[in-house]
Amino acid sequence: MIREYLAQYHETRTQRGALWIVAAHCAFFAALLAVMFYLRWVAESWPAPFHFASLIMVTFLTLLGLAASAVLEIAMRAVRLNDQEPAVRWMAVGIACWLTFLFLEVVEWVRLVYLLHLGPDTSFGATHLALTGAHWLAVVACVCWMTYVANDTRNRDVVAVTIYSHFLNLLWIVLVFTQYFSNFSLGDI
C-alpha cells in the first residue's frame, strides 16, 4: 500500500527530475548548514537575535508553507479527477501562500539587517542570510513553476511541483530548528 502511494510521486520524467532537483538542493543546503555550524563553533560569541515575536512570525511562515503544500496536494487530486477549474483555483491559493511567505521573510531580514545590525558582514548574518536567502530563491522558483503549471494543469505535471513544494516545507522546518530555535532568547520580551 505504501509502495503504491509513493509510486505516484515518480511516475513521469518531470517527477523524477523534481526528485533530482530536490537531491541537489539537499546537498547544497547540507553544505551551507555545515558552514554555519563550523562558523558557530569557532565564533567567540554568537548572537541570539530571535525573540518571542520572531517565533510567532516563523510559526506563521511555517503555516503558510504547509498551507501551500496542502492546497497543491488538493490541486493534484483535482487534476487526477479531471477537474481542471478547482485545480487552478487551489494552485492560485498555493501561489498566494508562498508569495505571502516571501514577503514576510523579507520583513524578517529587514529587522535583522537594519534594526539589529546583523547583516552579511557578521558571521551570523552571513550564514543566516545565505541559508534563508537560498531558500527564498527556491521558493521564488517554486512560485514560477506553480504559475507555469497553473496555466495548463491538464498537460503539465502538478505532482512534480507538489514534490518541490513539499521539499521546501521540509527544508524550512530544518531551518526553523537550526536558525531560529537555536538562536532564541527570552531577554527581549
- Residue-number span of the structural domain to which 89 is assigned: 2-44+52-183
Distance CA 165, CA 81 (A): 21
In the chain, the largest separation of any two C-alpha atoms, in whole Å, equals 59
Single-letter code of the amino acid located at 81: L
**Residue 188 is assigned to a structural domain of this protein:** no
Tally the domains of the chain. Answer: 1
* pTM of the predicted structure, to 2 decimals: 0.91
**Residue 36 is assigned to a structural domain of this protein:** yes
**Residue 140 is assigned to a structural domain of this protein:** yes
Torsion of CA 177, 179, 185, 189, to 10 degrees: -90
Residue-wise pLDDT for 137-180, tens only, equals: 999 999 999 999 999 988 899 999 999 999 999 999 999 999 99
- State the SS3 of 65-134: HHHHHHHHHHHHHHHHCCCHHHHHHHHHHHHHHHHHHHHHHHHHHHHHHHHCCCCCCCHHHHHHHHHHHH
**Residue 171 is assigned to a structural domain of this protein:** yes
Distance CA 17, CA 11 (A): 11
Residue-wise pLDDT for 95-143, tens only, equals: 999 999 999 999 999 999 999 999 999 999 999 999 999 999 999 999 9
**Residue 93 is assigned to a structural domain of this protein:** yes
CATH code of residue 175: 1.20.120.80
Copy the grid coordinates of residue 3.
509502495
Q: Name the DSSP letter for residue 178.
A: I
